Chain A
C-alpha cells in the first residue's frame, strides 16, 4: 500500500552541494510532478512529466533538473544548492492530466514530502 514514496525524508546540504530526490510510485500513473512548499506560499510546480522519458518545466524550474527514465520513478536534482532552495518538496502522481473539466481532471496523490535545508 505504498502509493508515492519519496527519499530522503530529510536532508541538510551546504551551499553548492548537489543532491537528488527520488520519487517512486506503484500506481502505474502516467503523470508525475514535483512541487515545493514554502511558508506563506501555495505549492508551486517545479517540473512535471506526462510519461516515461518526458519532462517539462513548471512555474519555478530554475536550479532544478529532472529525469523520468522509468515510468514509476521521477528524480529531482539540485546541481548546486542555494539557501533559497530550502523548502519542503512534494512529489505527486496522477492517473489523468490535471486541469480540463471536472469529469476528466486527475487527482493528485502526494508523497510524504522531503524537507531540505541548505546552509
Chain B
C-alpha cells in the first residue's frame, strides 16, 4: 500500500458546486497533514494545514479522520479559479525533513 493515496481525477464540476477530495495515508504514526495547490505547470503552494479538530478557510474546509486514516478537502461554491491539482502531503513518521506527497487530485471547474 502506498504511503499516501489520492484519486488523480479529474473531477469536473460546474461553477458553484461543492466538491470533496479524500487522501488516505498508511502510517498511523503520521503527525502532520497538509493540502498544497498546484496550478498547471506551476509550483505547489500551501493551501492549508489539516488539524485534528478540522479547519476552515473561507470556502475551504479540511478534516482529519485518524480512525480511518484519511484527510479530506471540501470546496464550497467552486470558482473557475479553483481549477488546479490538489496535493495531499503527510509527514508519515513524525520525524523531520521527509514528508510524502500524494500524486494529486485534479479539479476542473466548468462554466
| In the complex, residue of chain B having the shortest beta-carbon distance to the beta carbon of A58 | B98
Task: Tell me the chain A residues, 8-55 only, with Cβ under 8 Å from chain B.
Answer: 31, 33, 35, 40-45, 48, 50
With A and B bound together, what is the CA distance between A101 and B42 in angstroms? Answer: 28
B45: chain A residues within 8 A (beta carbon)? 110
B98: chain A residues within 8 A (beta carbon)? 45, 58-59, 98-99
Q: Mark B1-29, 1 if CB is under 8 A from A, else 0.
A: 00010001000000000000000000000
| In the complex, residue of chain A having the shortest beta-carbon distance to the beta carbon of B100 | A42
Q: Mark B35-48, 1 if CB is under 8 A from A, else 0.
A: 01000011111100
With A and B bound together, what is the CA distance between A58 and B100 in angstroms? Answer: 11
Q: Mark A49-92, 1 if CB is under 8 A from B, else 0.
A: 01000001011000000000000000000000000000000100
Q: Give the dominant DSSP class at A's interface.
A: loop
B101: chain A residues within 8 A (beta carbon)? 35, 42-44
How many residues of A are counted as interface, with CB atoms below 8 angstroms from the partner's CB atoms?
28
- Across the interface, B97 reaches (CB within 8 A) one of A98, A102, A111, A113, namely A98
B46: chain A residues within 8 A (beta carbon)? 107-108
- Across the interface, B103 reaches (CB within 8 A) one of A35, A42, A50, A101, namely A42
From B65-73, B74-82, B87-95, the one touching the partner chain is: B87-95
- In the complex, the 6 A-B pairs of residues with the closest C-beta atoms, listed nearest first: A42-B101, A110-B43, A43-B101, A99-B91, A99-B96, A97-B96
Binding site for A on B (CB under 8 A): 4, 8, 31-32, 36, 41-46, 49, 51, 87, 91, 93-104
Known: A50-B97, A102-B31, A113-B41. 20 other contacts (CB 8 A): A31-B97, A40-B8, A42-B100, A42-B101, A43-B101, A44-B101, A58-B98, A98-B91, A99-B31, A99-B94, A99-B97, A99-B99, A100-B32, A100-B94, A100-B96, A101-B31, A102-B32, A105-B91, A110-B44, A112-B42
